[in-house]
């Protein structure tokens, strides 16, 4: 009772009179109301949705990967590649083209003349002439006798001799020590990536004559069997030559097969040459 009186004195609202019994009844009534209110409150909270948590911040790696995915293709492209995309795409033949044969070199009187790609030939620069490799192709040429190598840029067409595969500038010949011997066995390796050394159009040279009449007679003899067949004039330092060339063949392998057919059927010595865009008639 004493505690109740003290409590009632502190909380006069619940004990409006000094009767201990009234105080106890008021307190009991208050506690009952509090319990009912508490239960109702807990019921409402349990039935509602929890408050949403604040959005998390994306990491820099996630943002960057999202940018890359967005930049990878047009906005309409699907997020996941289709089954067709899983197939490897066709790409140009990579660097790695290798051939072996004899190399010669050329200097005076060709120095200062226009090369097949249109620029002036400078024998003191590291360049070379090749019959089939595209202009601007970079190749490594290794002398198989001594192992010395040089890297040259293809700027010209040649050599037009059956047993040679490349003509080096004077500077390149010095680097592999082939000036004295004149002709040395070499390995030619393509270094430039993203090109197809054997793709494009090719023709077959079947003769080169100082006498234009001889070139015309050979052309006329084969004209009924092969087309196109044409004469290409070349003004060399040693005089004018008339080159007879046959065909416009897609792919170097097919051109070489065509050349062998000409050798077997017509008794000629075929030389496969790339048909450059700047020189549609077939060479310099």
* Degrees to nearest 5, angle at CA 92 with 89 and 94: 110
| Residue 201 near residue 254 (C-beta atoms within 8 A) | no
Partnered with residue 202 across adjacent β-strands are 249, 274
Measure the N-to-C terminal CA separation of the chain; round to a whole number of Å: 127
Shared domain for 222 and 139, answered yes or no, is no
The model carries a pTM of 0.65
Number of domains in the chain: 3
Per-residue pLDDT of the chain (284 residues; tens, 9 = 90+): 444 444 444 444 444 445 555 555 555 555 555 454 444 443 333 333 333 333 333 344 433 332 333 233 333 333 333 333 333 333 344 457 999 999 999 999 999 999 999 999 999 999 999 999 999 999 999 999 999 999 999 999 999 988 999 999 999 999 999 999 999 999 999 999 999 999 999 999 999 999 999 999 999 999 999 999 999 999 988 899 999 999 999 999 999 999 999 999 999 999 999 999 755 443 34
| Residue 16 near residue 8 (C-beta atoms within 8 A) | no
The residue segments making up the domain with residue 23 are 1-31
* Degrees to nearest 5, angle at CA 15 with 14 and 16: 105
Q: What is the CATH number of the domain that holds 136?
A: 2.40.40.10
What is the model's pLDDT at position 277?
76
Whether 36 is covered by a domain: the verdict is no
| Residue 204 near residue 252 (C-beta atoms within 8 A) | no
Cβ neighbours of residue 225 under 8 Å, at least 6 residues apart?
Answer: none
Partnered with residue 187 across adjacent β-strands are 100, 142
Shared domain for 210 and 244, answered yes or no, is yes
Per-residue burial over 24-63, b if 16 or more Cβ lie within 10 Å, else e, is: bebbeeeeeeeeeeeeeeeeeeeeeeeeeeeeeeeeeeee
Shared domain for 178 and 249, answered yes or no, is no
Q: Tell whether the torsion through CA atoms of 210, 215, 218 and 221 is positive or negative.
A: negative
Shared domain for 178 and 242, answered yes or no, is no
Whether 265 is covered by a domain: the verdict is yes
For the chain, give percent helix, strand, coil, nearest 5. 30, 25, 45
Distance CA 120, CA 192 (A): 22
Pick from 189, 201, 180: nearest CA to 276: 201
Shared domain for 107 and 172, answered yes or no, is yes
User: Token pair 């190598």 is at which residue?
Assistant: 149
Shared domain for 185 and 206, answered yes or no, is no
Q: Tell whether the torsion through CA atoms of 216, 219, 221 and 227 is positive or negative.
A: negative
DSSP string, 128-147: EEESSSPTT-EEEEEETTT-
Distance CA 172, CA 177 (A): 9
H runs (alpha helix) in the chain: 2-10, 20-47, 60-71, 170-175, 212-222, 252-266
Quote the distance between the C-alpha of residue 122 and its chain's center.
31
Whether 135 is covered by a domain: the verdict is yes
Shared domain for 243 and 181, answered yes or no, is no
Q: What is the CATH number of the domain that holds 265?
A: 3.30.70.1070
User: Token pair 């008339």 is at which residue?
Assistant: 242
Whether 170 is covered by a domain: the verdict is yes
């Amino acid at each position: 009772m004493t505690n109740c009186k003290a409590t009632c004195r502190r909380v006069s609202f619940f004990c409006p009179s000094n009767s201990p019994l009234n105080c106890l009844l008021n307190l009991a009534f208050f506690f009952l109301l509090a319990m009912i209110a508490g239960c109702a409150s807990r019921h409402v909270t349990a039935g509602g949705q929890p408050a949403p948590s604040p959005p998390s911040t994306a990491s820099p790696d996630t943002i960057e990967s999202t940018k890359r995915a967005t930049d990878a293709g047009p906005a309409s492209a699907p997020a996941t590649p289709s089954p067709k995309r899983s197939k490897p795409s066709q790409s140009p033949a990579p660097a790695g083209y290798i051939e072996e044969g004899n190399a010669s070199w050329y200097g005076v009187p060709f120095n200062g003349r226009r090369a097949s790609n249109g620029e002036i030939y400078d024998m003191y620069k590291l360049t070379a002439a090749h019959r089939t490799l595209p202009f601007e192709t970079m190749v490594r040429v290794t002398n198989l006798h001594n192992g010395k190598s040089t890297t040259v840029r293809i700027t010209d067409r040649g050599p037009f001799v059956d047993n040679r595969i490349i003509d080096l500038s004077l500077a390149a010949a010095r680097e592999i020590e082939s000036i004295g011997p004149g002709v040395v066995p070499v390995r030619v390796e393509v270094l430039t990536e993203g090109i197809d050394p054997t793709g494009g159009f090719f023709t077959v040279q079947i003769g080169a004559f100082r006498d234009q009449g001889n070139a015309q007679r050979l052309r006329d003899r084969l004209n009924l069997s092969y087309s196109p067949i044409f004469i290409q004039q070349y003004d060399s330092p040693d005089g004018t030559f008339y080159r007879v060339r046959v065909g416009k063949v897609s792919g170097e392998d097919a051109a070489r097969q065509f050349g062998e057919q000409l050798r077997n059927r017509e008794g000629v010595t075929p030389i496969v040459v790339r048909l450059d865009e700047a020189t549609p008639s077939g060479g310099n």
